[in-house]
Amino acid sequence: MPIDPNAEIEITAFAWVPPFAEGLVRDLRPRWALEEIGLPYRVQLLEGERSPEYYLEQPFGQVPCYREGPLKIFETGAIIQHIGEKSEKLLPRDAIARIRAIQWTYAALNSVEPAIQNLTAIDLFYKGEEWAALRRPGAEEFARLKLKRIADWLGDKEWLEDHFTIGDLMMASVLRIARHTDLVAEQANLKAYLARAEARPAFQRALADQIAVFKAHQPEGAEA
């Protein structure tokens, strides 16, 4: 629970990814949100090439897609906000607190994730290329600046606002992308913030479920 093959809510996920991507694929985000509010869901696994029908639902061929009755959503920011609307545990009902939580999901996706993803692409996909070596110092400094802005805002607070919300769920998910670096650890309060998020039982359950799928579908001869 809440994984249930008979659940109304369904998300798509990859059956397997290489080890460097384990725990970072974006279906982890709705898994985590649904675990936080105890809402059951089922998973449709994708293997190999995406079908033409899938592109009609997810124009970029990525995961996750979120399905709930006639509703279909393909962007994690929209998915997480929709899930958040189901429970005050993730999205406050007070109008001001609600929009402030939502703004942090936008900040995570628009202000922070592009900088971290840019550095990650250089490090993991273009390592060894001359242009990447030249670009990396600037990319690292830009990502470091974004992380310092979050750390400065956070100060000694436990969460970005008064309590854990979809904003924290999304921000922590984005910060985890930098796990191959020491950038988050450079800011002690940011390191502690991420550790608090990852220690949440709902996150641990969601992560374990995602990793279990990858292990079960690991191709013969693939790196463990």
Classify residue 212 by its DSSP letter.
H
pTM of the model: 0.96
Q: Tell me: the pLDDT tens digits for 75-103?
A: 999 999 999 999 999 999 999 999 999 99
Residues 68, 153 share a domain: no
- Is residue 213, in this structure, part of any structural domain at all? no
Q: Tell me: the pLDDT tens digits for 117-135?
A: 999 999 999 999 999 999 9
Specify the amino acid at residue 44: Q
Domain count, the chain: 2
- Cβ–Cβ contacts within 10 Å for residue 155, how many? 7
23 near 178, Cβ under 8 Å?
no
- Is residue 207, in this structure, part of any structural domain at all? no
Range of the structural domain that residue 81 is part of:
9-89
Residues 170, 116 share a domain: yes
- 93 sits in the region (left: phi over 0; alpha: psi -120 to 50; else beta) called alpha
The whole-angstrom separation of Cα 4 and Cα 117 is 32
CATH code for the domain in which residue 136 is found: 1.20.1050.10
| Mean pLDDT rounded to a whole number for the chain | 96
Residues 18, 55 share a domain: yes
Domain final residue, candidates 41, 72, 89:
89
The whole-angstrom separation of Cα 131 and Cα 153 is 34
| CA distances, 192 to each of 153, 155, 188, 214 (Å) | 14, 11, 6, 28
The three-class DSSP label of residue 14 is strand
- Is residue 224, in this structure, part of any structural domain at all? no
Residues 142, 44 share a domain: no
